[in-house]
């Protein structure tokens, strides 16, 4: 009995150890999988900077819209350039958030009243707290912005076709203590040579610019320069075939096809017969006369007349040379 009881106790302890070992193994596997998922998520987050690119695209949206010329010092740029960029950058952000209808409208012009405070906030986030802010009406090459003293805001003529380009951040990297942001410029539907709406606007960037950000107060990055990028559009990197005649002008291509069709119809007798028109007679050169006479100039009829005249003349000559002998009665 004692041996049986001891054996049961040993079996019970053995079973308990097995259960504990199995539970520990399960916990180890769960821990390894959890750590692995954390590592994968961390690597994915480190490699995927789409959110960061989107934030930079929002910051430079207004500058890209109007294709601001390069500059090496933001303090030397006309303030109206940045104020216009701030206005449309704010409008774009409101459209993205679906808050554009929340702004007050001017009852006389129907323009959107954009608060001066939002413009100042945009400029401060873009250029830093040391950038001097101004208020009041101003004018650019594109629009005239009227400042409403009572509403403390700008009257913005919101239209459906504003801006030349939309931004697409291509690359972000550090160099020389500065952050370089390569931005691709994608033309809008209204960015054509004629200024009219085009449904065939490119969907890929046609040019690239580098926005240079320097670290300022509170370890934040602020725009200090804009320069041309070494990145080139793919269309310029590949060879393009030489244009063929008539391809660039659709009207000329249609005219060429029409002329070719008409020429084939004239040269093809079967086509001419089907169309009910008689083919033009072929012109042949008359054969030269044996006696050195001049060839006929007027075709078959004149040639026939000349033949008859020559026959009559030959008959008369033969009659004179060989007179008929008189016959006896």
d(CA 190, CA 162): 8
Highest mean pLDDT, choosing among 35-39, 157-161, 179-183:
179-183
Which whole number is the average pLDDT over 71-94? 92
Q: What is the pLDDT of residue 158?
A: 73
Q: What is the pLDDT of residue 68?
A: 93
d(CA 188, CA 66): 11
pLDDT in tens, 193-202: 444 545 555 6
pLDDT exceeds 70 at position 260: no
Say how many residues make up the chain. Answer: 329
The answer to whether 59 and 223 have CB atoms below 8 angstroms apart is yes
Task: Report residue 150 as tokens.
Answer: 């009572």
Task: Report residue 232 as tokens.
Answer: 């080139």
For residue 145, the SS3 value is strand
User: Strand 165-175 to strand 178-187: parallel, antiparallel, or no bridges (unpaired)?
Assistant: antiparallel
d(CA 207, CA 204): 9
Query: What does each C-alpha distance from 309 to 214, 216, 323 come to in angstroms?
Result: 109, 115, 21
Of 20-34, 232-246, 293-307, minimum mean pLDDT range:
293-307
The answer to whether 159 and 110 have CB atoms below 8 angstroms apart is no
Distance of CA 240 to the CA centre of its chain: 16
Q: What is the pLDDT of residue 29?
A: 92
Looking at per-residue confidence, does 11 or 27 come out higher?
27
Task: Report residue 27 as tokens.
Answer: 């916990």
Looking at per-residue confidence, does 203 or 305 come out higher?
203
The answer to whether 183 and 168 have CB atoms below 8 angstroms apart is yes
Residue 57 pLDDT grade (very low, low, confident, very high; cuts 50, 70, 90): very high
Compute the mean pLDDT over every residue in the chain, rounded to the nearest whole number: 75
Q: What is the pLDDT of residue 1?
A: 54
Q: For residue 185, give the nearest of 161, 197, 201 by alpha carbon.
A: 201
Residue found by looking up tokens 């203590």 in the block:
177
User: Helix-strand-coil percent breakdown of the chain, rounded to 5?
Assistant: 45, 15, 35
The answer to whether 223 and 126 have CB atoms below 8 angstroms apart is yes
pLDDT exceeds 80 at position 312: no
d(CA 31, CA 29): 5
Of 61-65, 108-112, 210-214, 284-288, minimum mean pLDDT range:
284-288
d(CA 116, CA 118): 5
How many helices (DSSP H) and strands (DSSP E) are in the chain? Answer: 8, 8
Task: Report residue 67 as tokens.
Answer: 């294709």
pLDDT in tens, 299-310: 444 444 444 444
Half-sphere exposure of 206 (CA within 13 A, CB side): 13
Q: What is the pLDDT of residue 267?
A: 53
Share above pLDDT 70 across residues of the chain, in percent, rounded to a whole number? 64
The answer to whether 263 and 257 have CB atoms below 8 angstroms apart is no
Q: What is the pLDDT of residue 126?
A: 94
For residue 138, the SS3 value is strand
d(CA 313, CA 321): 12
């Amino acid at each position: 009995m004692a041996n049986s009881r001891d054996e049961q106790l040993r079996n019970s302890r053995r079973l308990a150890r097995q259960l504990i070992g199995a539970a520990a193994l399960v916990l180890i596997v769960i821990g390894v999988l959890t750590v692995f998922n954390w590592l994968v998520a961390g690597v994915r987050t480190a490699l995927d900077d789409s959110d960061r690119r989107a934030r930079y695209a929002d910051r430079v949206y207004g500058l890209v819209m109007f294709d601001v010329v390069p500059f090496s010092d933001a303090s030397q740029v006309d303030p109206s350039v940045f104020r216009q960029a701030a206005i449309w950058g704010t409008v774009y952000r409101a459209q993205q958030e679906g808050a554009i209808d929340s702004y007050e409208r001017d009852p006389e012009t129907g323009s959107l009243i954009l608060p001066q405070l939002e413009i100042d906030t945009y400029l401060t986030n873009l250029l830093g707290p040391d950038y001097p802010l101004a208020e009041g009406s101003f004018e650019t090459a594109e629009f005239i912005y009227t400042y409403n003293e009572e509403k403390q805001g700008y009257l913005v003529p919101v239209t459906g076709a504003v801006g030349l380009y939309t931004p697409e951040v291509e690359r972000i990297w550090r160099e020389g203590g500065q952050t370089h942001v390569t931005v691709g410029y994608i033309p809008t539907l209204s960015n054509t040579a004629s200024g009219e709406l085009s449904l065939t606007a490119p969907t890929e960037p046609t040019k690239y610019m580098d926005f240079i950000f320097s670290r300022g107060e509170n370890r934040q990055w602020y725009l200090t320069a804009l320069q041309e990028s070494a990145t080139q559009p793919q269309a310029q990197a590949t060879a393009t075939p030489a244009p063929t005649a008539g391809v660039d002008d659709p009207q000329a291509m249609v005219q060429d096809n029409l002329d070719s069709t008409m020429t084939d119809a004239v040269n093809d007798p079967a086509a001419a017969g089907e169309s009910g028109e008689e083919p033009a007679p072929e012109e042949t050169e008359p054969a030269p006369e044996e006696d050195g006479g001049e060839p006929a100039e007027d075709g078959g009829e004149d040639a026939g007349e000349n033949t008859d005249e020559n026959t009559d003349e030959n008959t008369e000559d033969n009659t004179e040379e060989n007179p008929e002998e008189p016959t006896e009665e």
